[in-house]
Structure 1
Amino acid sequence: MIFELIKKRRSVFPVQYNDKPVQRETIEQLLEAANWAPNHKRTEPWRFKVLMGESKAKLGDFLSSKYQEVDSKPKQIKIRKLQENPRKAGAVIVICMQRDPKESLPEWEELAATAMAVQNMWLCCTELNLGCYWSSPGLIKYMDEFMELNKGERCLGLFYLGYYDEEPAIGEREPISNKVHWLD
């Protein structure tokens, strides 16, 4: 049931991934689910760039190098994490949003639609027992130096994918009643 799937959804981080490869067909399924996200005025703003093989290592090298370039006091542990996380992943999907050139709707609506596309992928990953994690480091503002982005397209994060062995922790939430005000 969808309610149980939503409650089971978790971030599973690259350090938790095993070496089992993620098949291209599986990633295509995830992307197809993303493509059915709701969006206003049918702008379909989500764009994805899938990194597999050597391109993951190149991403790690870019992120760690860029971090050392822009941070006045880079930390060795972060340098290593930026370099290793893409390598540990079965795939990395670069999450981008293509702004409607006519700006026929507020930008936040296109950001929300892209986030819903990612949520669709995330729920499918949960169903498939595939770990995933949406990373949004400050370094994403430099992604146009790593890969070509179209005019009006911007990177919103990195979606790491990988199979895992240990079950993720059970999530907790405060009751919804603490967050809702009913008006009659």
Structure 2
Amino acid sequence: MSTLEKIIRERRSVKPSLMNGKKIIPSIIQQLLALADWAPTHGRTEPWRFIVFSGNGLAQFSQQHADLYKNHTPEESFTNAKYQNIIHNAEKASHLIAVYMKRQASQKIPLIEEIAATAAAIEHILLGAQEQGIAALWSTGGMTYHNSMKQLLGLEEHDQMMGLIYLGYSDEPSPPAKRNIALSEKTVWKD
């Protein structure tokens, strides 16, 4: 338990701008995906799906993501700084994994359970990355939840984008651990 506790407590979100550009070997990415594949899943639907970007594919996706922002944001809300940030966000990352929930045709399993299963798969990736000394960020920014992202990635109508996971290495120290609300305030015991 102490090893697992250490990994969980030390896991932090690291912005891609703080990554150093060092590349992760593909076999480690494959190991992270294999961990994700063991997430709990009601009815064994295994709804998690991954699209892995690296190298030129990552640069191309970043440009496409920025163009979605430019093309689908009202002029009064659009900022060039955000547009440029989306383009350059992944320059120091090694890989980006777009994660989505694949909705079963039967829709037998409640939607919330399929989303929760996919979120658990994402957490497995994040914990595995922490164990490997890999910096990670589960991002839902930019156009992640916009319908245009689903179209870009070829998702079907009832599929749900869950986020973009940026992975890389960082030379920055992790910030100290903290919780804003005491566990005792979030727990009710009934004997």
TM bracket, shorter-chain basis:
over 0.9
Which residue, 127, 130, 139 being the options, matches 1:126?
130
RMSD: 1.4
Kept after mapping to 2: 8 A contact 1:130/1:163: yes
Kept after mapping to 2: 8 A contact 1:59/1:86: no
The superposition leaves residues 33-80 of structure 1 with CA deviations (integer Å, 9 ceiling, x where unpaired) of 000001111000000000011111111111211212222231122111
Q: Give the 3-state SS of the residue equivalent to 2:143 in structure 1.
A: helix
Q: Give the 3-state SS of the residue equivalent to 1:157 in structure 2.
A: strand
- Shift in Å, 1:178: 1.1
Q: Which residue of 2 aligns with 1:68?
A: 70
Query: How does 1:141-156 map onto structure 2 within 5 Å?
Result: 141=146, 142-150=148-156, 152-156=158-162
Q: Which residue of 2 aligns with 1:177?
A: 184
Go from structure 1 to structure 2 and tell me whether the alpha carbon gap of 1:29 and 1:84 turns closer, same or farther (over 3 Å shift).
Answer: same
Which residue, 73, 77, 84 being the options, matches 2:81?
77
Query: Are 1:107 and 2:114 matched, yes or no?
Result: no
Q: Give the 4+ runs in structure 1 shifted more than 4 A.
A: none
The superposition leaves residues 154-181 of structure 1 with CA deviations (integer Å, 9 ceiling, x where unpaired) of 3221100010001120120132101111
Which residue, 147, 160, 165 being the options, matches 2:166?
160
Go from structure 1 to structure 2 and tell me whether the alpha carbon gap of 1:163 and 1:138 turns closer, same or farther (over 3 Å shift).
Answer: closer
Aligned-residue sequence identity (percent) comes to: 34
- Shift in Å, 1:152: 3.8
TM-score (norm. length: structure 1): 0.94
Q: How many residues align?
A: 184
Kept after mapping to 1: 8 A contact 2:150/2:156: no
Unaligned stretches of 5+ in structure 1?
none
